[in-house]
Structure 1
Amino acid sequence: MRVFNLIWSGQAASLIGTAMTTFGIGVWVFTRTGSPTAFATLILAGSLPGLLTLPFAGVLVDRWDRRLVMLLSDTAAAVVPLTVLTLNSAGMLRLWHVYVLVAVGSVFKAFQFPAFSALVPQLVSKDDLGRANSRESVAEAGGMVFGDLLGGALYGVLGLNGLLLIDLGTFCVALSTTLHSYRLRPAIPPVRAKDAPPRRMRADMAEGWRFIRQRSGLLGLLVFFAFYNLMMEVALVLLAPLVLSSNPPSTLGAVNAAGAVGMIVVSGVMSFTRQPRRLVRAVLAVAVLHGVLLLVMGVGHAAPLLLAVGMFGVLGGYAVTNSATTTLWQRKTPTGLQGRVFSVRRLLAWSADPVAFALAGPVAAYVGTPLADAGGPLPDTVVRLTGTGTSGGIAMVFLLSGVLLTGVVAATCLLRSVRRLERELPDADEPEPAVSAAAP
């Protein structure tokens, strides 16, 4: 895993730098506008363009050298902090500049996930896929934790420009490690035959979806994750108002930190151990655990310790799920199709976020709060568990999400194609990656 570890280390550093810049730009926008709407627009600008770019990105990842895609993506994405730094230093930075540049950056970063995920099976053996994917989770969690911590600590000292300079430095680290990997492993097997006839972009985009649709087990698993993510995000997006309704902001920081620590700890352990033999079974077991944790957090929302424990388990469970599902899809998808297939998979997974963001508030206000009312349709014993008012309505959303998620898991277990996916769908018939002479 020498080449993988080299590239991974550069990407991990870049994730921390990007998180610091994200934090700094968010603070800059809010301090100048004081508008939650402006802040929400920033989040939308940083997510929606990349989401819409994924199908196109997946096609190019399968047509080009995947390391080259990562190099081009990192180089283009570095233009964004460089431009923001230049404009801010000249006193010319405006809000619309930030929106446009963040949107451009999300487009370029959309190439990173399918490129790196599809590159991993070309760098490591099948036996090492689980550990490699777990280290990806460590990098993502580390970016969240250290990016926010360093961003918060350094913004007051260095300002936005200082954070942007650090981000540019981490981009240089990512570029240098990827370039250095060519010395250790100069050749990677092509994913597309040189004599293959040229195809239209639209046909290549459709092929990723067609591959999934023709395999009922993978399609069923994808539908499961669409509902799974929706149930989880509808509840978790309300965590901040749930905590802040009866606690100071420092408590929210502690709860979020507990979740990030859970993801780092579990990912770290998995990166040095073997994954479960039955990956689908592990994913469904984690989903059941998440359903139980949502119930516990809804009932115990007045106790910050229970919320912290719940978030530790939720994000720790995500580490297992992310690693297991990525490994499963890598094993079942031919290398030449992985860019397109992974883009479709991520597109549907990310699509749950804006839907959840749109639903969470109205569900809490018009469903959760009336159900938690003392004169509502539920028994008084249930109302006593959640409490009343706004916090009671949000707690009720946690309870409903936990129950619905458990139902989704039960329905998925009835699907033979998903339950027996690993046995009935053979692994993709791809050669093992060649071992470089420079590798140990």
Structure 2
Amino acid sequence: MLDHNSPELKQKPSFASPLFKWTEYFSHQEREITQSMNVFILIWVGQVLSLVGSRMTNFALSIWLYQHTNSATQFTLLILSTTLPTIIISPIAGVIVDRFPRRWIMIISDFCAGLCTLTIAWLFINNHLEVWSLCLISALSSSFSAFQALAYSSATTLLVPKEQLSRASSMTQIRLAIAEILSPALAAALLVTVQIPGIVVIDLATLCFALVCLLVVKFPEVKTKEAKTEEVGLFSSFWQELSFGWHYFIDRPGLIGLVLFVAITNFLIGGVEALTTPLVLSFASTQTLGTISSIASSGMLVSSFIMSLWGGPQRQMNLIFNSMFFFGIFYVLAGLRPNPILFTISDFFIFFIVPIVNGAIQVIYQKKVAPEVQGKVFAFRIAVTQGFLPLSFLLAGPLADRLFEPFMQADGLAANTIGQIIGIGHGRGIGLMFVIMGLFSIFFTFISYLYPRLRLLEDELPDSSGL
């Protein structure tokens, strides 16, 4: 038996001390991870409520516009006014997001978007709201949202550990799903009672809650190495950062392939997706539209929860290709017949697939792109992937009003051919557009799979060392 004063016993503290330090280190690391996740969840809750409020307002205003104009062209112009500013402003927003605190960018952006919503409410109450003014203010609000979305996306990478990125991405999709489920049904019900002014008040209340959540937390920020303005020049430095995203993608063929794949898919599907409201209103009431939208959007919530629990597969690209194949099939089914049940089921699975694809894409970018340049890189991605949407919107409305809708009337050219399959009358032209674009989407997915740089993206491009 060893003596308490023996040299062997006296050496024990010197052995236990490093062990204690390592235990303390890992406990500290766990506390930091837990604290970061708590901050992310608090921000996430605020963003969920704010998004529900803003989507309610957008849904109510879109119904008001279509009922007052009965024009698919003017309806798509409203959607265009919320999409085009995001494309234009995103590259500039990306540079600013990487230069300044992302938390304050989100705070200022949310506040300015709230002022835009308040202006729309004032114009509506005073009977001064016109299509042009609604589109103009929506464009301004969308510009602020571009800053907010980039700051939120890039901050997530800093808040969440690498191994939890897939779940965090799923939570982001859950946020969108909750908004898509609740907003249409709530807006349709509130339009009958409190009408648009009451919906705006609720929107502003949820926005205030989101701002409070952002004010009580702090984001970890990255320190970027800025070029000296006296050596490079302020304008030259800004232009170099503005063009950084372009050069970043050009040097990585797999990433540029992914960007173009999403961009062309958006072009094929975006225009007809914008015509969902006119299509449903051709065979259902406003209240039914809200119900169908909420039920279909629950698909986002279901798949987002599944992905958050599962965490996703190791190979994200396989998941993307398989999902996009079924995405096209369900678009074909959605336009096949003027049947509320068939459309609801098809739209449910369309929304079910959206978070899976978006989440997989987001995980790829967050793993492959260093956090200190994600603002610029993500901005370029948004500008390109959404760059085809304005053209799609501009084409979709006139094509529906002047070509496909007359084509599918009782006396139209396709009444005795295609009309025997998908039906004839109001809305059937838009239904035919759904079928055609769904088939194009399936074909394009097959073509994209044959490109090896895209298919093998995860193998050929190493993970960022910043994670």
Q: TM-score range by the shorter chain?
A: 0.7 to 0.9
State the AA in 2 paired with 1:130. Answer: S
Give the residue type in structure 2 aligned to 1:71: I
Letter in 2 for 1:118: S
**Alignment partner for residue 222 of structure 2, among 175, 190, 200?**
190
1:59 matched residue in structure 2: 95
Q: CA deviation at 1:250?
A: 4.8
**Which 10-residue stretch deviates more, 403-412 or 302-311?**
302-311
Q: Assess, with a 3 A threshold, how the Cα gap between structure 1 residues 386 and 160 changes in structure 2: closer, same or farther.
A: closer
Letter in 2 for 1:18: S
Give the whole-Å Cα distance in 1 for the aligned partners of 2:407 and 2:189.
41
Q: CA deviation at 1:85?
A: 5.0
Aligned residues of 1:266 and 1:320 also touching (Cα < 8 A): yes
RMSD across aligned positions (CA): 3.2
Paired residue total: 423
- Counterpart residue number, 1:330: 366
1:60/1:389 Cα in 2 relative to 1: closer, same or farther (>3 Å)? Answer: same
Tell me, yes or no, if structure 1 residue 102 matches structure 2 residue 134: no
Unpaired runs of 5+ residues, structure 1, are: 432-440
What residue in structure 2 maps to residue 354 of structure 1?
390
SS of equivalent to 1:426: coil
Q: Of residues 243, 267, 284 in structure 2, which corresponds to 1:230?
A: 267
Q: Secondary structure at the match of 1:181?
A: coil
2: CA distance, partners of 1:276 / 1:27: 39
Once the two structures are TM-superposed, the CA of residue 312 in structure 1 deviates from its matched residue by 0.7
1:216 matched to 2:253: yes
Establish whether residue 174 from structure 1 lines up as the match of residue 210 from structure 2. Answer: yes
* Distance 1:429-1:11 versus aligned 2 partners, 3 A rule: same
The residue correspondences of 1:358-373 to structure 2 (distance < 5 A) are 358-361=394-397, 363=399, 366=403
Match of 1:287 among 324, 337, 355: 324
Equivalent residue for 2:453? 417
> Any idea what SS the aligned residue of 1:221 has?
helix
Does the CA-based 8 Å contact 2:150-2:378 persist in structure 1? yes
Superposed displacement of residue 146, structure 1: 2.0
1:134-173 equivalences under 5 Å are 134-173=170-209
In structure 2, do the counterparts of structure 1 residues 346 and 152 end up closer, same or farther at CA, with 3 Å as the change threshold?
A: same
How far residue 298 of structure 1 moved from its aligned partner, in angstroms, is 4.0
Report deviation, 1:410. Answer: 1.2
Q: 1:387–1:140: structure 2 CA closer, same or farther, 3 Å change rule? A: same
Q: CA deviation at 1:321?
A: 0.6
Specify the code of the residue in structure 2 equivalent to 1:403: L
- What residue is the counterpart of 1:16 in the other structure? 52
Shift of 1:202: 2.1
The answer to whether the 8 Å contact 1:369/1:394 transfers is no
- Correspondence for 1:386 among 400, 403, 422: 422
Which has the higher Rg, Structure 1 or Structure 2? 2
Cα 1:200–1:92 shift into 2, 3 Å: farther
| Code of the aligned partner of 1:263 | M
Q: CA deviation at 1:390?
A: 5.8
Following superposition, the deviation at residue 270 of structure 1 comes to 1.7
**SS of aligned partner of 2:384:** helix
Partner of 2:30: none
Query: TM-score, with normalisation over the residues of structure 1?
Result: 0.85
Change in Cα spacing, 1:149 to 1:254, as seen in structure 2 (3 Å) is closer
- Deviation of 1:102 after TM superposition, in Å, equals 2.9
CA, structure 1 residues 391+420, in 2 after alignment: closer, same or farther (shift >3 Å)? same
- Partner secondary structure for residue 110 of structure 1: helix
Q: What percent of counterpart residues are identical?
A: 31
TM-score, normalised via structure 2 length: 0.80
Structure 2 match to 1:276 = 313
SS of residue in 1 equivalent to 2:373: helix
1:68 corresponding residue in structure 2: 104
Listed one character per residue, the Cα deviations across residues 161-182 of structure 1 (whole Å, up to 9, x for unaligned) are 3333322222221111112222
Q: Distance in 1 between matches of 2:370 and 2:56?
A: 36
Distance 1:30 1:202, change over 3 A: same
Q: Is the 8 A contact 2:74 2:397 kept in 1?
A: no
Q: Equivalent of 1:408, from 431, 444, 467? A: 444
For the residue of structure 2 that corresponds to 1:47, the secondary structure is: helix
Query: Is the Cα–Cα contact under 8 Å of residues 184 and 293 in structure 2 kept in the other structure?
Result: no
Q: Structure 2 vs 1, CA of residues 166 and 378 (structure 1 numbering), >3 Å: closer, same or farther?
A: closer
Distance in 2 between residues matched to 1:266 and 1:259, nearest whole Å: 12
For 2:428 and 2:81, the matched residues in 1 are separated by 32
Q: Can you list the C-alpha shifts for 1:360-405, whole angstroms capped at 9, x where unaligned? A: 355556479769999979996x664334566554444333223221
Rate the CA distance shift 1:180–1:211 in 2: closer, same or farther, 3 A. Answer: same
State the Cα distance separating 1:351 from its structure 2 match: 2.7
1-side partners of 2:62 and 2:419: how far apart? 38
- 2: distance between equivalents of 1:161 and 1:77? 16
**Structure 1, residues 79-100: CA drift from partner, whole Å, max 9, x if none?**
22344456667x4855365454
In structure 2, the gaps of 5 or more residues are 1-36
Mapped partners of 2:346, 2:320: distance in 1: 18
- Where 1:409 maps in the other structure, the secondary structure is helix
Cα deviation, 1:53-80, whole Å, max 9, x if unaligned, reads: 1111111011112112111211222222
Instruction: For residue 331 of structure 1, report the CA deviation from its aligned partner.
Output: 0.9
Shift in Å at residue 21 of structure 1? Answer: 2.9
Partner of 1:436: none
Cα distance in structure 1, aligned partners of 2:79 and 2:139? 9
SS at match of 2:217: helix
Indicate the residue corresponding to 2:379 in structure 1.
343
- Tell me if the contact between 1:228 and 1:287 (Cα under 8 Å) persists in the aligned partners: no
